[in-house]
């Protein structure tokens, strides 16, 4: 039996838009149709980030700590911080996450010791705030950041995502376009989108028989 031996199927932005219009029973006829659909696509990618459907954009990054400095600016592409450890003399110590209120209520934010808590200040340019503030210049922070997906900027570009998410993207874009252009198909396409989204979320989550989380309490500085 002959097989293709090809594993390079990939759609560009224009092809996703064409597929979405076809699901709506429409054709792309004008430049404005393309512009409007590309805007919808980028809004949908932002929705995915809010719903956590971009695990493939997790990046591990580092920060060199400075004694007495508790706030460190992050890249504008950072959406969220999933985990943080501080490394001292080759040993990693986990930091627990604080809410905005909990961080605000720390009475003395200049206390120096080994950091054991962090707060992500999610401004336009986010920053990582740690407490206690570093007591030396040699500790290093390692953190896992959930970052933004690339925008769908030009029609000939492909979209930054794994192959298994292609059906979800096509279904979602069709639903977004239907809201504006084909209201009679909104319910059908929304149901298809949510089904594909749930399937993609299930496939994207970490798989393990069970998780064992080590306790770091005894490492903490009182």
Q: pLDDT tens digits, residue range 52-72?
A: 777 788 889 999 999 999 999
Does 212 have pLDDT greater than 50?
A: no
Report how far residue 164's alpha carbon sits from residue 162's, in angstroms, rounded to the nearest whole number.
6
Task: Identify the pLDDT of residue 164.
Answer: 86
- Residue 156 banded pLDDT, cuts 50, 70, 90: low
Average pLDDT value for residue range 162-169: 89
The Cα–Cα gap between 128 and 116 comes to: 13
Residue 142 Cα distances to 2, 63, 161, angstroms:
49, 7, 25
Least confident of 11-15, 25-29, 153-157, 184-188: 153-157
Higher pLDDT, 212 or 134: 134
Across the range 194-203, mean pLDDT stands at 89
Query: Is residue 209 over pLDDT 70?
Result: no
Mean pLDDT of the chain: 87
Q: Return the pLDDT at 7.
A: 63
Higher pLDDT, 149 or 135: 135
Say how far apart CA 113 and CA 98 lie, in whole Å. Answer: 17
pLDDT at 211: 45
């Amino acid at each position: 039996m002959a097989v293709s031996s090809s594993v390079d199927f990939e759609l560009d932005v224009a092809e996703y838009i064409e597929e979405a219009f076809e699901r709506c029973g429409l054709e792309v006829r004008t430049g404005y149709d393309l512009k409007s659909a590309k805007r919808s696509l980028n809004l949908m990618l932002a929705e995915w980030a809010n719903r956590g459907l971009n695990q493939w954009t997790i990046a591990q990054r580092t920060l060199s700590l400075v004694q007495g400095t508790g706030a460190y600016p992050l890249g504008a592409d950072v959406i969220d911080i999933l985990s943080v450890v501080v490394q001292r003399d080759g040993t990693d110590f986990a930091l627990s996450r604080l809410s905005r209120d909990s961080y605000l209520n720390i009475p003395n934010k200049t206390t120096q010791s080994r950091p054991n808590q962090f707060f992500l200040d999610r401004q336009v340019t986010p920053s990582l705030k740690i407490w206690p503030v570093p007591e030396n210049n040699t500790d290093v922070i390692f953190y896992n950041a959930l970052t933004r997906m690339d925008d769908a900027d030009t029609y000939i570009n492909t979209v930054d995502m794994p192959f298994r998410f292609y059906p979800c993207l096509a279904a979602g874009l069709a639903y977004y376009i239907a809201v504006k252009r084909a209201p009679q198909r909104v319910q059908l396409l929304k149901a298809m989108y949510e089904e594909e989204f749930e399937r993609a979320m299930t496939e994207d989550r970490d798989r393990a028989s069970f998780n064992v989380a080590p306790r770091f309490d005894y490492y903490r500085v009182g």
